[in-house]
């Protein structure tokens, strides 16, 4: 029908991210910036099935196919007279047109609702196909506008990028989608380049490059595609594409590095209404490596509950005192005193995993004090011996309340240490050992959260 001809599968690729980076024709399973529709996006979890019941993998493939179809069609209503006359009906009319064409309800619903959530308080989609298209639409918008340097400034946000970021956060949280946000952004930047290649006719001019690039970004998260680009003269000979590759979109590392703090800031704004402290989000986010939003918020909630207790308040005070002493002494800890170059350590350049054991043994030698520790000092050492592995194991198991409980066990020992032990002792060995102990305490706390970011 006319609706399909406006931009459906029989026409040029036109999905929900077609303004700057439209999804090209994709093979099954390589859907857009969300890396495929699977259980993490709401598809049925693997379960036993009978011959009369579709297998979970077939169910996920069907969802992915419908997501791609919805993405190709979700902006097609923009060329209709109805939406031209009444722009506020975009999406809604697309849903009506799709249903009138006999498309599946899931596709029609995704076309209708892919703009959601529009703002705070708006309904958040939960249907897998709709969630996938809505995420791809907003992620593409963010990646492309950041890629061309059109960032929000002050109160100006003409392309509603702040709202798009909050919408992405709401979709991930409400649907409990466990994904690595940084990886998705890397992937989406590659998708944007592929889309621009198709829409600008570059594909036919540099087929060898784009076929290789298409394979890489379909199957992996490729963080650096310059090597592939520089090896194909046909691609670098296209002036417009060369300009693109030198822009923000072509530099995925820097692009993601600018987007992640933007998402962190939006998360603080969003969570403020839920009563979550912004400094606690910073305390977890700045540790790095926590790109799973659902996991990050669980960690922040556990931290907020802990900081509100006497143990949390007093441990924070002890941490600040230890950190201030270490900062004043410019003390980095035991590892900083292990020789780092071949002049100081002839074995430092030996490429042998067994050398790790040598280094660890040397650290243990430095750890061992050549004096008898005072009772409070020995108690803190024992508490750290127990708390460090317990906290690490709890974090790995995503038992963040357990990680906080492990830290709570350090509260009394660190208090007693400061009450009875002189850190800056006249004996240089005692002073070094005690500063090392405080550095170890600081590092144990940092494995759970960066307490230096916590206010108060």
Count of other CB atoms within 10 angstroms of residue 49: 14
**Residue 38 pLDDT:** 38
CB contact at 8 A, 28 and 112: no
Residue 95 · residue 129 · CB < 8 Å:
no
CA dist 94 and 109 (Å) reads 9
Numbers of helices and strands, H then E, in the chain: 21, 0
Q: What is the 3-state secondary structure (H, E, C) of 191-223?
A: HHHHHHHHHCCCHHHCHHHHHHHHHHHHHCCCC
Angle at 259 between CA 255 and CA 262, to 5 degrees: 155
Closest-CA residue to 40 (of 319, 331, 316, 294): 294
pLDDT in tens, 414-448: 999 999 999 999 999 999 999 999 999 999 999 99
Q: Kindly tell me the sign of the dihedral angle through the C-alpha atoms of 107, 111, 113, 116.
A: positive
DSSP state of 119: S
| DSSP designation for 43 | P
Q: How far apart are the first and last CA of the chain?
A: 64
Query: Which residues of the chain carry a pLDDT beneath 50?
Result: 1-55, 218-219, 221, 223-224, 336-350, 359, 361-363, 365-366
Residues 259/151, Cβ–Cβ less than 8 Å: no
Look at residues 222, 230, 431, 179 and name the one whose alpha carbon lies nearest to residue 329.
431
pLDDT digits (tens, 9 = 90+) for 174-188: 999 988 898 888 888
* Closest CA relative to residue 16, chosen from 114, 93, 109: 114
Contact assessment for residue 131 and residue 154, using Cβ atoms and an 8 Å cutoff: no
How far does Cα 401 stand from its chain's mean position?
Answer: 22
d(CA 360, CA 54): 54
Res 313: pLDDT:
94
What angle, rounded to 10 degrees, do the helices at 181-199 and 207-219 form? 150
Q: Does residue 17 sit in helix, strand or coil?
A: coil
Concatenated DSSP letters of 20-85: SS------TT--TTTT--SGGGTPPPP----TTS--HHHHHHHHHHHHHHHHHHTTGGGGSHHHHH
């Amino acid at each position: 029908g006319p609706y399909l001809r406006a931009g459906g599968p029989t026409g040029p690729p036109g999905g929900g991210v077609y303004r700057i980076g439209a999804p090209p024709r994709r093979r099954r399973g390589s859907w857009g910036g969300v890396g495929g529709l699977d259980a993490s996006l709401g598809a049925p979890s693997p379960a036993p099935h009978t011959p009369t019941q579709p297998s979970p993998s077939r169910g996920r493939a069907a969802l992915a196919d419908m997501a791609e179809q919805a993405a190709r069609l979700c902006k097609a209503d923009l060329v209709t007279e109805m939406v031209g006359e009444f722009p506020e009906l975009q999406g809604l009319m697309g849903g009506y047109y799709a249903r009138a064409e006999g498309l599946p309800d899931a596709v029609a619903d995704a076309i209708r609702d892919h703009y959601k959530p529009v703002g705070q308080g708006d309904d958040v989609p939960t249907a897998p196909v709709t969630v996938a298209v809505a995420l791809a639409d907003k992620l593409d918008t963010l990646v492309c506008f950041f890629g061309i340097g059109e960032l929000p400034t002050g109160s100006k946000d003409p392309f509603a990028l702040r709202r798009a970021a909050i919408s992405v956060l709401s979709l991930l949280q409400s649907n409990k989608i466990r994904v690595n946000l940084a990886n998705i952004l890397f992937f989406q930047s590659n998708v944007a380049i592929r889309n621009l290649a198709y829409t600008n006719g570059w594909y036919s001019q540099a087929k060898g490059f784009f076929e290789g690039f298409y394979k890489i970004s379909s199957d992996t998260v490729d963080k650096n595609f310059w090597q592939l680009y520089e090896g194909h003269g046909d691609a670098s000979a296209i002036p417009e594409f060369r300009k693109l590759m030198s822009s923000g979109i072509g530099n995925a590392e820097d692009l993601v590095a600018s987007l992640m703090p933007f998402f962190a800031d939006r998360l603080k704004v969003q969570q403020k209404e839920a009563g979550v402290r912004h400094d606690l989000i910073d305390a977890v986010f700045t540790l790095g490596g926590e790109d799973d939003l659902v996991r990050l918020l669980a960690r922040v909630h556990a931290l907020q509950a802990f900081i509100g207790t006497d143990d949390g308040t007093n441990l924070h005070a002890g941490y600040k005192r230890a950190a201030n002493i270490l900062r004043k002494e410019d003390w980095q800890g035991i590892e900083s005193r292990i020789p780092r170059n071949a002049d100081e350590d002839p074995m430092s350049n030996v490429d042998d995993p067994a050398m790790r054991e040598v280094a660890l043994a040397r650290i243990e030698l430095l750890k061992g004090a050549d004096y008898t520790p005072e009772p409070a000092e020995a108690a803190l050492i024992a508490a750290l011996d127990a708390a460090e592995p317990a906290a690490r194991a709890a974090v790995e198991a995503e038992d963040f309340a357990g990680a906080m409980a492990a830290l709570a066990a350090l509260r009394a020992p660190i208090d007693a240490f400061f009450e009875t032990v002189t850190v800056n002792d006249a004996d240089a060995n005692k002073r070094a050992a005690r500063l090392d102990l405080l550095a170890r305490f600081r590092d144990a706390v940092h494995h759970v959260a960066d307490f230096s970011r916590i206010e108060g």
